[in-house]
A and B are shown apart, each in its own frame.
Chain A
Amino acid sequence: MTSPPNPPPPNPPSAQPRYPVRVDLPAHANGGPNGDTPDYPGDPISEPYATLTAVAPAPELPSVPMTAERLPRWAGWAVPLGFTLGGLLALPSGISPGLVLPVVMIVSAAFIYLWSRSVEGARYALDRLVTAIVTSAFLIAMIPLVSVTWTVVDRGTGRFDWDFFSESMRGIVGAGGGGYHAITGTLIVTALACVISIPIGLLCAIYLVEYGKDNRLSRWLTFFVDVMAGIPSIVAGLFAYALFVHISGPGVRMGIVGAVALSVLMIPVLVRATVEMLKIVPNELREASLALGVPTWRTIAKIVIPTSLGGIAASVTLAVARIIGETAPLLITLGITTGTNFNPFSERMATLPVFAYTQNQTPGIARNGMGPPGFDRAWTAALILIMIVMALNLLGRLIARLFAPKTGR
């Protein structure tokens, strides 16, 4: 008998043990009075027991109740609301709102924490405290967004009229004129940047995920894409300018130069986002296709890309949104002009960000009790830019939904 018996099951103390319970036997139980000679030599049953010690019954654990007292349901919103009202009452005394807001947030969080702790216990109190912190952080993060949107809409609607969409600035000195040339310029340059970047970015991402598979080249590529993502936009503009100086001579200003500068900024964003999208395509789909005898490139073109098309479209729109508002590189490479130019391969072009910038720099002279007309045009240009980005985002979501893999019956 070499192996010990099965360990006893964790019986409740009152239950009858189903297996032999390990017990301490007196020293003579398995030996003579001196413990040297066993009473029953080679007894197969008593032998192993003698060497084992008793196992105490498991200690009682405190019982956990399944019900607990909770705060009233309105506590979550009523407490911050009450303190906000208190803060509003304090405002007329001349205290800065920038001081009242954090005080209201901190006092509400502290109040709900202490109240909850006294009623609900430590776990719920911590939950409520973290909820308060997260909500406060969200509200603080919303401040700049709401503020920018409000200001741009408020001041941009002044010139948001038909003229702005149909007239350029050619021959305009005072009020009037519009951003038609800048809108077309932005659309042309951005479209050209997409034509350059999307094939390069997508193919690069496809190489990294589908072919590179962490080999040396793909590791270097990933590294340089990361470096590229950190290039300041003004440097990208200088690069594109310097490149075209070699081709067309000094002082070059063309749409294509700006498109190249924007591509330098767009490609890394596109590659990183597309790589993530391709990575989430399940490997089983690639294997299923390969096992059917489908060549790798067709597997990519017909299985991997369609499966991730929604995500890729979203990546493209995000990358476009990233570059469409760039000002500095376009200021260097395109300059500004007052007339409409549809040809990106010759002469200067106006774009919305640069238009807004120059209108703000040289707003003209205030007349007839109106402010300088350039300010209004600059705000409207900013409003249109925001609307284009928003439209692109919505378009990206729409495409993502249209091309999402079908699962319905």
Chain B
Amino acid sequence: MKTLLRFNFLKNRALIFSVLGFHAFVALLAPYLRLSSTDSQDSAALLQGPSLNHWLGTDSLGRDVFSRLLHGGRPSLVIAFAATAISCLIGIVIGSLAALAGGWIDEALSRVIDFMLALPTLILLLLISSFFGQDPLILSVALGLMYASPIARVARSATQTLLARDFIRVARLQGGSRISILFGEVLPNVWRVMFTEVAMQFTWILLAFSSLSFLGLGASPPTPEWGLMIAESRSYMTLNPLLVIAPIMMLASLVLAIQALVDHE
């Protein structure tokens, strides 16, 4: 127990990278792994414990938990990647543009960013998903737009510090236009500063989508998705606790590994 307490899970690089590698491997290769089907229901074997046929047992519809578990990260990962890409694109361009332009443009864009930050994200997502259907495309775009404002804010301040540096002044004195400075000097440098912020955003978006699924408005059944799996199996926790423990471990290990990777405390 003492060694366990002393062991710093969040600072052990080898552990972090092997967890991330495991998730990447599973997410990319799950469909090719000759697993049993994720939706075939075996009504003779409901809520069974672990066995040779079903390594982690079966859920309330007799579906193989192990197979669903390995497929369960894919929907959220795809959406999180798409939404993060959208939010980065919009956030970084708007943020650095605001800092670069200065004056009233900066003022106006900052107000828009502040306004977006004040919006109640989850309730808006629920509204969109409920009224426009649980379409992955719509959800990614909505998530991307909503999570663009924190990125824009960080990009704006990062660019502002950058603008005081000599090489930007040189580029200005050489007669570079604002647009060429934005793409040639600012963006390549801001990107590096932004990496931490973007990785954090990625986990927030992933978790937001999982929470939506948990509430029944993200991934729609019978898609295997961790949040949805937890929601579906909670009533059967007493019979087979693995049904909720397994997806929780997968989700937790993934987001904690990403957070630990970027957290330089």
Q: Real complex partners, A and B?
A: no
Which B residues form the contact surface with A (CB < 8 A)? Answer: none
